Structure 1
Amino acid sequence: METTNPGRLAALAGAAALAAALAGCANFAPPHVAPTGMVPAEIGVGAAPAQATPAGLDAAQAQAWVQSPGLREAIALALSNNRDLRVAVATIERARAQYGIAQADLLPGVNANAQGSRSRTAADLNSSGRSVTSSQYTAQLAMTSYEIDFWGRVRNLNDAALQAFLQSGENQRNVQLSLMADVASAWLTLAADQARLALAQQTLETRRQSFARTERMHELGSTSGLVLEQNRTTVDAARTDVAGFSSQVERGRNLLQLLVGGPLPESALPAPLQLSAAAPAAALQPLPVPLPSSVLLQRPDVLAAEYQLRATNANIGAARAALFPTISLTAAVGTGSNELSGLFGSGNGTWSFVPLVRLPIFDGGRNRANIAVAEANQQIALAQYEKAVQTAFRETADALADRAHWAERLDAQASLVTSTRKAFELSEARFKSGVDNYLAVLDAQRSLYAAQQTQISLQLLEQINRVTLVKVLGGAPAPAQAVAATPLPR
């Protein structure tokens, strides 16, 4: 009977300890690093302005519908730093990798295997009555369960993964388009809020001067206390507006910083909208109209819905293929020996070839139910695609309907501002000459202020309508006579 060698036991124990130690040495997971620098150390304290990447600068420069260099710079910053856009880009990379995984199933996978084993059979289990120690060493190249795609199941799954990848690309383009529209809207809104604030501050200064004159007249006894208090109410109302619009401007800047992914440099901030008719308020180039309706089919959300529809069609093919026999191959070629030194010796070659045919006979209706699910998903995707097309037409028709009347609305409001200004000047002159009371002056003053504020709002809405047109058309086509884009700083 074989006796146990203490030295051999010690060697085996040492090898096991070494294997356990090596198993804990390698760790391929990247170390966790908490993101920093997203916000300033203290709330309300300014941080360094965000920086645009060359790709963001080029993408913003290509937007011919944007006239303002400041707005183009803000768009470049958003395309470089916005977190939602980063998520969309990472989603594309994930879909690309998933498509690569599906594509790999079209080809057989080959692995290299090396194995060694050593075992001892007890004497009571051996016919010779003696314990036996045996060794076996093998080295192989193996192909495991490669499916021969007779019915197109693997090809359809690969096509579905391709359509999902293309859909993620259109989703990313949709996020980018929506981001540019949101940045433009926020930038224009901030410009309008600054104009409202400037108008309120100018009005407050004018009313304070008027109140000072009225207060002096009251001290001299040439006007009543009622007129003085009426004048004071106009000052307090203007103070309230200044405080409210100051808050709106700060909130607008915070929103713009969130969209661009960081603080904006001064060159990217808007100037207040101008009320003068001679100074154009447009920061955006008008789009050429009419446009063919076929451009709506190139909208990213419409294309994404189309790719989703194609993916569901491919999934139906894969589900139907599951009803047919599946043929897979497993093969291996290599060498084997009972001694490590003779592993690659002559005559020690090995091979195996195992074809497998699997025919579904009874599965409780699972495969046919999977087909029904795939067909229902295809009907859902078809309805979603049709809705996406109809929504695109409706949004574009609404935006164009508004576009048709903006020139008239802006002209009428500018005329209204001119008329109310003249009415205010005449009311003030009549009051000073003693023909009218101060209530008429107050009424004319409020009407002028309200008309000016409405004019700012209409100018903003007209610009927002241009942004909406760009968005609903899936990106602005090049205008027939585009204004030359001012180069952005790099």
Structure 2
Amino acid sequence: MSNIHIPAALSLALLLGACSLTPVLEKPVAPVPSSFGATAGVGASGADLGWQSMFGDPRLQALIDLALKNNRDLRLALLNVQSVRAQFDIQDSTRLPTVNANAGLVKQRSAANGAVAASVDSQKSAGIGISAFELDLFGRVAALSEAAFARYVASDESRRAAQIALVGAVADAYFTQRLAEEQLQLTEHTLADWQRSLELAQQLKAARQRSGLDVAEAEGQVATAQADREARLRAVALAGNALDLLTGVHAAGGLPSGIALDRQPVLVQLPAGLPSELLTRRPDIRQAEQALVAANADIGAAKAAFFPQISLTANLGFASLSLSGMFDSSQRTWSFAPQITQPLFNHGKLRSELRLAELRKSAAVVEYEKAVQTAFREVADGLAGRATYGRQIEAQTRVVGSAERRLALSRLRYDAGQDSRLALLDAQRLLYASQQTLLELRRNEFGNAVALYKALGGGLNAS
């Protein structure tokens, strides 16, 4: 036994740990069509665009930058990545032996025995040792390490998905704020116009040129606009609160001025690329893929648990009664204690654990396929909106123009006494409603562009 070289034995054992019972992972075929259809167009994917290129409004850019620096959900996502990374480091460290240095002192007093007087003996020791290191002959530890690493990568993909979602959420909240502010301006302008009409109706009634019915109708119209104004004021406040939460700070002051909805420099005609690009662009799909890798590695660990587990405890050092001669070669000590454990009877626990691992892999396959299908549907929805919103806005713009002409004619006919006030009120309400609808359509077009941008995996790069 004195010829045994412990480091050499350890090296041989580590070399033997090359067997792996983890099944070969075959990624499922994406259950989606090979193209997005005629609405997709040609060109590179919109994911290649940085968010500064996608959103040209300086105020929106400043808000997104604030959110990326201060948003608490994004901070939590980053902390979660770091936590899962630490868990991987802990698991991966078990693949190599842990070497500990030790030193000790033992003092012992022996009792007197007849002519032998009582005495106190002491022994000093120092050495290095390995405690219960598992020789991974069947790849159990390696499989657990692989699963831990895949979960770390999945957590980082989750952080990237959270960043994309944050960029989109800030853009959506900003466009909602712009819509609320512009609807408030339109409502206040309309209210002022209708109040002047009410004053005119009151003057005409006082001059006995109009009846009290005209005044009552005008009063109802003004009250409606006043109620709308309160709703718009509330919408502006709520949109501001949403932006404050997303950016993590109260960002009302010190930012560039915003741009009106009808002049927003937002790219609404985004190229979609090919469906296969989603598999490499979308962090949520890559997250589901890494979850599948982890579940597959868990199967290997569960299979390896059926085979013997060999652990090794070894120690090399010196022991002596005196400190001065402790490191002499004659005082060298060593111990080598391998241990093998073979499961014999555990009431089906290992088989149940293997079955559970296989079921979790099947669930991970379904989650991966669902993520791909969801991504395809989101892109297809965005492309459908891209193809129709522009034409709808053009048509609604013509509606507004027609309503403006109708109101002008109705006012002339009312002033000439050829129409009742009811016809004038209808023309005013139609113009007001058509203008509100046009504002909402423009905001919805930007919302669709944001959704398509996120669906394609854009929003990770600044430019």
Q: Tell me the TM-score range normalised by the shorter chain.
A: 0.7 to 0.9
Q: Which amino acid aligns with 2:81?
A: I
Aligned pairs for 1:391-430 (under 5 A) are 391-430=374-413
Match of 2:250, SS state, is coil
Q: Which runs of 5+ in 2 are unaligned?
A: 1-47
Is 1:69 aligned to residue 58 of structure 2?
yes
Pair 1:363-2:346 in alignment: yes
Aligned partners of 2:163 and 2:459 also within 8 Å: no
How big is the shift at 1:347? 2.3
Change (3 A) 1:249 1:477: closer
Within a 5 Å distance, the mapping from 1:32-47 to structure 2 comes to none
Q: 1:390 to 1:127 in 2, by over 3 A?
A: farther
Shift of 1:213: 2.1
Matches for 1:60-139 after TM superposition, within 5 Å: 63-122=52-111, 131-139=118-126
Contact 1:312–1:381 under 8 Å retained in 2: yes
Counterpart of 1:284 (choices 244, 266, 275) is: 266
Q: Which has the higher contact order (CA 8 A, sep 6+)?
A: 2
Q: Deviations over 1:284-308 (max 9, x none)?
A: 2134435211121121111100000
Offset at residue 122 of structure 1 (A) = 4.7
Q: Using the alignment, how far apart are the partners of 2:272 and 2:91 within structure 1?
A: 44
User: Is residue 210 of structure 1 aligned with residue 197 of structure 2?
Assistant: yes
Q: Percent identity of the aligned residues?
A: 38
Give the C-alpha shift of residue 264 in structure 1.
1.1
The normalised TM-score by structure 2 is 0.85
1:318-346 superposed Cα distances (whole Å, 9 cap, x missing partner): 11111111222211111112344543355
Cα distance change, pair 63–151 in 1 and its aligned pair in 2 (3 A): farther
Distance 1:477 1:286, change over 3 A: farther
Residue 320 of structure 1 corresponds to 303
CA distance in 1, matches of 2:114, 2:409: 127
- SS of 2:123's equivalent in the other structure is strand
2:132 to 145, 163, 171: 145
| Cα shift at 1:197 | 0.3
The residue type equivalent to 1:382 in the other structure is V
CA RMSD of aligned residues (A): 2.3
SS in 2 for 1:119: strand
Matched, 1:334 2:323: no
CA distance in 1, matches of 2:205, 2:256: 45
Is this contact kept in 2: 1:60–1:72, CA < 8 A? no
1:293 to 275, 278, 281: 275
1:349 Cα shift? 1.7
CA distance in 1, matches of 2:209, 2:387: 54
Task: Answer whether contact 1:194 1:271 (CA < 8 A) is retained.
Answer: no
Residue number among 435, 443, 447 corresponding to 1:452 in the alignment: 435
Mapped contact 2:183–2:436 kept (Cα < 8 A): yes
Matched, 1:344 2:314: no
Give the letter aligned to residue 293 of structure 1. Answer: P
Where do 5+ consecutive residues of structure 1 fail to align? 1-58, 275-279, 479-483, 486-490
Q: How many residues align?
A: 415
CA distance in 1, matches of 2:237, 2:114: 93
Relative to the length of structure 1, the TM-score reads 0.80
In 2, are the aligned partners of 1:61 and 1:72 still within 8 Å (CA)?
no
Q: Distance in 2 between matches of 1:289 and 1:81?
A: 31
Residue of structure 1 in register with 2:215 after alignment = 228
Alpha-carbon distance in structure 1 between the residues aligned to 2:243 and 2:272: 32
- 1:471 is the counterpart of 2:460: no
Q: Matches of 2:140 and 2:314 in 1, distance apart?
A: 22
